[in-house]
Structure 1
Amino acid sequence: MLRINTLSSVIRRYSIRSIPFTKEDLKGDDKYKDLNDHYSDLFTSEETQVSSKSKENSLSDDIAEINAELNELYGVESPIEVQNVEQREQKPQEFPIKEQDIHHDIQQDIQQDTQPIPTLKKESLLDKIKSNTPKIFISKSNNPFLNLAMEDYIFQNTPVTNPFKAQRLIFYTNTPCVVIGKSQNPWRETNLPYLNSVGIPVLRRNSGGGTVVHDLGNVNYSFINSKESFSRTFFGSVIVKAVNKRYGFEKLAQNERGDIIMALDKKKISGSAFKVTRGKSYHHGTMLLNSDLANLKQALNKRQRTGIMEFECRSVDSVPSPVDNLGLPNHDFIEVVSKAFQKMYETPVEIVEVDEFHNEEILKIAENLKDWKWRFGSTGSFKLKLNHQESGTLIEFHVEKGILKDFKTNKESDFEFLREQLTRGLELKFKSDEFVRFIKGDLYEWIGNQIDGTH
């Protein structure tokens, strides 16, 4: 606000100590009297006392008028207006705000400004596996190594409590592969030359049982429960009842070994394997729905080697059985069995779709499953006898943990170079591309084709 504060300051600004001209008494000339008096008053020195009350009031009015004009020019409120505003501000409000309300609002504003915005943490696969409630896991991958690794990862991390509450049901479908049991011999159980020719891998699982063939027309399931509740037949019966209910008649049955078979012709449609350890157990199996049965047969065909190849070993043998397809679409089978599993428990059962395959532990397990030392090198000691009828050559290979240790033959001259390598201590895997090149003549190719066809 612009304001001239005192009258004396104005007087001091415009007054001088003496009048700049001599004042004469112009007697009788009254027409100049008012003008002379005006200038006389205007230039009166500081020592000159202004005693006229009317003049002081007049000057105050002039100052007030100047102040008003300045305020109007600069858009500033006058002292009177400011005083009125101050009086209004001091006037009590009709609806006073309570002190505690003000304090609450301030605290709330502070909290809103300083507290971080909460975010929901997405549950990881491990979080879901470790939860102590029943769950269903469905893999989104078709990679057999990743799926077997996922199955093992879930089994390892499923919590054990008393009573056991963390039952698991796992589903996965693989691209074509052959899976042997933990204690089986791949050279004996599979047709390795055929598998290598079409690029079908051999996997070794951590559970026992026989050899099975997987493809996209086959759904694999795994039921995890407590060690105390382990049963070779329980979950198979759950599947049989659920599928029969879906068809409305007795489509499936179980045989004396617990295998799931077609009720009418007794053909096997599901092979099972089991594992019990560390307070937990699992029963996993295949379900032939729309598999390539011709490929399955070729992958396990041993008849072509009859009279040519003979094994001496203590590995577990598969039990051959005639097989068939159920004919149900994959998703229908998963839905039917999932609903049966959910009805077994009083609590809601979450379905988890697994696509978290960048998990380091799963990848590590998968790499171990791919390792030749696990797939072939963990095979127990065995002898393989070959009979080349055309040349009359007989040879017997001695293999330990997948490594060729020794051999016997009636044609030593054809194998002298190979003998030399073994005598020198060269470690040769029992793979045809590693050792048959040390055999002379055309016999090396025939031997390579009988073993695995990789030469």
Structure 2
Amino acid sequence: MLFRFRFPLIKFCRTYSTKHEPIHRIIYSSSTNIWFNLATEEWLSKTIKPNEHILFLWQNDKCAIIGRNQNPWKECFLERMNDDGVLLARRRSGGGAVYQDLGNTCFTFLISQAHHRLDKNLNSEILLDALQSSFNIEGHIHGRNDLVYGPDKRKFSGSAYQNTNKFALHHGTLITDVDTNAMKKYLNPNKEKLISKGVDSVQARVINLCEVNRSLNHKDLCLAIEESYRQTYSKYKIQSAEILSRETLDLIPDLNASYELFSDSQWRFGQTFSFTHEYEKRFPWGTISIGIISQRDGLIHTCEIYSDALYVNMINRLKDNLVGKMYTGESIRNVCQQTQKQVETDQEKAMIDDIQSWILTQI
């Protein structure tokens, strides 16, 4: 459920004190759209001033987010996501595939590299202090990227990093009350026939923080993180909290441009490594084998279909129609509908329905 922070919506401002003294900004997003929030994060990265430190807090509705070099067909059940309205997003940073919903709280620590360096451990301590002071939850840093709870070291937070000459970014998520069944439903598909050079997701045991403290929620957690952040940097100037909404897209062209990128299918599907997908099935009307090769642009570059079915022309038309199309469920449906219009018999049309239903379970 969406909520309203107590902070007023204010105009973004750029104020400075002394040349080298950092100015800290705390920004909330009132949108739960993953593409908007990733676009906001990128826009803040591109426009950060030399003395700025930024804490950005946000939350996403149902989505699967893959790392920059990951293969969505390998990491996600794309057809299930499409049926259930789960958005696919690709971030610019590395790391594995994650599922998010309103049971997650997302954070971004962003600094200019002009005079300062990002301290990942300090950022983690800010998060841990917020949990301890406001919710009596004692977590620990584990490894390079994770925060864990209890003797079993159950993971409740993962992070990723991005560094450029201009800025350093540390972002991640705190798992508060995520639908763990959805994680299993939308992530980690059958990989038996999929050959990829992408980055595998890392499975880890996780815990919802609400299991430790039922009173924890996104709004109060954000306010606790803000308070911890303000105390940590109390000797510096910290501006009043700011709120960004989807309406901001109409006011800031650069932000809108980033949103168009993250929502674009070529970015979400088209940055994958080359892979081969092969599958075979026996139907009452015959056996069919399909081999698809897709390249970095997410298009089907090569398609071979072998079958002992009697309708040779239908098989050839389907193969020709698939080449050059995006390897997505929606595109497969359109190709099958196109092929049905090109065949003559009801039997062929029924066979195409069988093939369509089968392919959609494989991608």
TM-score past 0.5 threshold: yes
Counterpart for residue 415 of structure 1: 315
Counterpart for residue 185 of structure 2: 298
Q: Flag the 1:245–1:151 CA change in 2: closer, same or farther, 3 A.
A: same
Of 346, 356, 360, the residue aligned with 1:449 is 360
Q: Flag the 1:186–1:126 CA change in 2: closer, same or farther, 3 A.
A: farther
Deviations 1:297-328 (A, max 9, x none): 212142xx365xx2112111111112221112
RMSD: 2.8
Contact 2:305/2:319 (<8 A) preserved? no
By how many angstroms is 1:384 displaced? 1.2
The within-5 A match list for 1:393-412 is: 393-400=288-295, 401-411=297-307
Rounded to whole Å, the distance in 2 between the matches of 1:433 and 1:339 is 50
Task: Give the number of the structure whose residues are more often helix, by fraction.
Answer: 1
Deviates more, 1:201-210 or 1:405-414: 405-414
Q: Flag the 1:275–1:306 CA change in 2: closer, same or farther, 3 A.
A: closer
Rounded to whole Å, the distance in 1 between the matches of 2:38 and 2:315 is 40
Q: Flag the 1:270–1:178 CA change in 2: closer, same or farther, 3 A.
A: same
1:433 alignment partner AA = R
Contact 1:181/1:204 (<8 A) preserved? yes
By how many angstroms is 1:421 displaced? 4.3
Rounded to whole Å, the distance in 1 between the matches of 2:49 and 2:362 is 44
Rounded to whole Å, the distance in 2 between the matches of 1:271 and 1:321 is 10
The number of aligned residues is 319
Of 432, 435, 438, the residue aligned with 2:335 is 435
Task: Give the structure-2-normalised TM-score.
Answer: 0.79
By how many angstroms is 1:222 displaced? 0.3
Please state whether the residue corresponding to 1:134 is helix, strand or coil: strand
Counterpart for residue 33 of structure 2: 143
The within-5 A match list for 1:339-418 is: 339-345=227-233, 346-350=235-239, 351-355=241-245, 356-358=248-250, 359-388=252-281, 393-400=288-295, 401-411=297-307, 413=312, 415-418=315-318
Rounded to whole Å, the distance in 2 between the matches of 1:282 and 1:323 is 24
Rounded to whole Å, the distance in 2 between the matches of 1:406 and 1:154 is 40
Of 213, 220, 233, the residue aligned with 1:332 is 220
Please state whether the residue corresponding to 1:197 is helix, strand or coil: helix
Please state whether the residue corresponding to 2:14 is helix, strand or coil: helix
Of 295, 315, 320, the residue aligned with 2:198 is 315
Please state whether the residue corresponding to 1:388 is helix, strand or coil: strand
1:368 alignment partner AA = L
Deviations 1:149-189 (A, max 9, x none): 111111111113xxxx3111100112211111111111111
Deviations 1:259-288 (A, max 9, x none): 112224322211212111133110110111
Contact 2:130/2:221 (<8 A) preserved? no
Rounded to whole Å, the distance in 2 between the matches of 1:342 and 1:259 is 23
Rounded to whole Å, the distance in 2 between the matches of 1:230 and 1:348 is 18
Counterpart for residue 201 of structure 1: 87
By how many angstroms is 1:129 displaced? 11
By how many angstroms is 1:430 displaced? 1.5
2:54 alignment partner AA = R
Contact 1:186/1:376 (<8 A) preserved? yes
Of 162, 167, 172, the residue aligned with 1:285 is 172
Rounded to whole Å, the distance in 1 between the matches of 2:143 and 2:273 is 30
Larger CA Rg, structure 1 vs 2: 1
Percent identical: 24
2:203 alignment partner AA = P
By how many angstroms is 1:379 displaced? 1.8
Q: Flag the 1:206–1:306 CA change in 2: closer, same or farther, 3 A.
A: closer
Of 231, 238, 242, the residue aligned with 2:126 is 238
Counterpart for residue 271 of structure 1: 158
Q: Flag the 1:416–1:126 CA change in 2: closer, same or farther, 3 A.
A: farther
| More contact order relative to length (CA 8 Å, sep ≥ 6) | 2
Counterpart for residue 3 of structure 2: none
Q: Flag the 1:321–1:212 CA change in 2: closer, same or farther, 3 A.
A: same
Rounded to whole Å, the distance in 1 between the matches of 2:279 and 2:149 is 39
1:407 alignment partner AA = C
Rounded to whole Å, the distance in 1 between the matches of 2:139 and 2:242 is 28
Contact 1:436/1:448 (<8 A) preserved? no
Counterpart for residue 210 of structure 1: 96
Rounded to whole Å, the distance in 2 between the matches of 1:387 and 1:404 is 18
Q: Flag the 1:235–1:306 CA change in 2: closer, same or farther, 3 A.
A: same
Deviations 1:338-357 (A, max 9, x none): 12211222123122222334
Contact 1:230/1:281 (<8 A) preserved? yes
Rounded to whole Å, the distance in 1 between the matches of 2:177 and 2:273 is 34
